[in-house]
Amino acid sequence: MSLPLLPDRTCGGCVECCRVIPLDLPELAKPTGQLCGYCVDGAGCSVHEIRPQTCRVWFCLWRVVELSDDWRPDRSGVIVRPDGVERGEITLYVVRRSDFLADMDFFATIAGWIAEGVEVALSVPGPVGTYPARAVVTDWLRPAVEEGDPQDFLARVLASLDRLAEHDFQPDGVTARYAVV
Ligand code: SF4
Ligand code: SF4
């Protein structure tokens, strides 16, 4: 999918999606959670001009909607996935637990989405080479949102992440293939 990007925002030093998003294309395949071999530390994509179409059109929602700089995925540990948005679902892919989960910005933003009727899901990565786990948590978070209680909200988020971490993660079956030429 391709959403219009914010004109004044770039990925900067973030390369999170080049690590955690599954890729199984004819010219590029890598196990989920393994940093793409074309990604150069501090410089980004080394095949930028000829990168696969999937890489050209996949952007997290931090590149699309007005979320604060603290939401940048390498800082927040949270990738707001774009898939599902068109049907009113937002998935928060928590690739790393950070203090941002306790931030009022995080609480207020998600509370706003839930109040607007958006379905919110949490997702966590499994071991390298497995699909992530995901669960819709709107109704579980709603009491904390309606009470305006950030502490209860954080407790509910962490409890959800703990449950997801116990998931029976399934292998993605992907063998690395680097053939972008
Ligand atoms: S996760 Fe988002 S901000 Fe980070 S590199 Fe990917 S598109 Fe850019
Ligand atoms: S080809 Fe480039 S943009 Fe695509 S996953 Fe690899 S480093 Fe990222």
- What are the boundaries of each domain within the chain? 17-178
- In the structure, what pLDDT confidence band is assigned to residue 168 with cuts at 50, 70 and 90? very high
Which pLDDT score, from 0 to 100, does residue 120 have? 98
Q: Which ligand number lies closest to the CA of residue 9?
A: 1
Q: How far apart are CA 81 and CA 112, in angstroms?
A: 17
CA torsion angle 16 98 158 11 (round to 10) = -30
Q: How far apart are CA 21 and CA 42, in angstroms?
A: 19
CA nearest ligand 2 atom 2, residue: 45
Which pLDDT score, from 0 to 100, does residue 1 have? 58
11-38 per-position pLDDT tens digit: 999 999 999 988 999 999 999 999 999 9
Per DSSP bridges, beta strands 89-94 and 119-124 are: parallel
Residue-averaged pLDDT of the chain: 95
How many helices (DSSP H) and strands (DSSP E) are in the chain?
Answer: 6, 9
Q: How far is the CA of 72 from the centre of ligand 1 (A)?
A: 8
CA nearest ligand 2 atom 1, residue: 51
- Residues touching ligand 2 (Cβ under 6 Å) are 18, 28, 36, 38-39, 45, 47, 51, 55
Q: Which ligand number lies closest to the CA of residue 77?
A: 1
User: What is the mean predicted confidence (pLDDT) over 164-177?
Assistant: 96
List C-alpha distances in Å: 160 to 61, 72, 98, 136.
22, 22, 15, 10
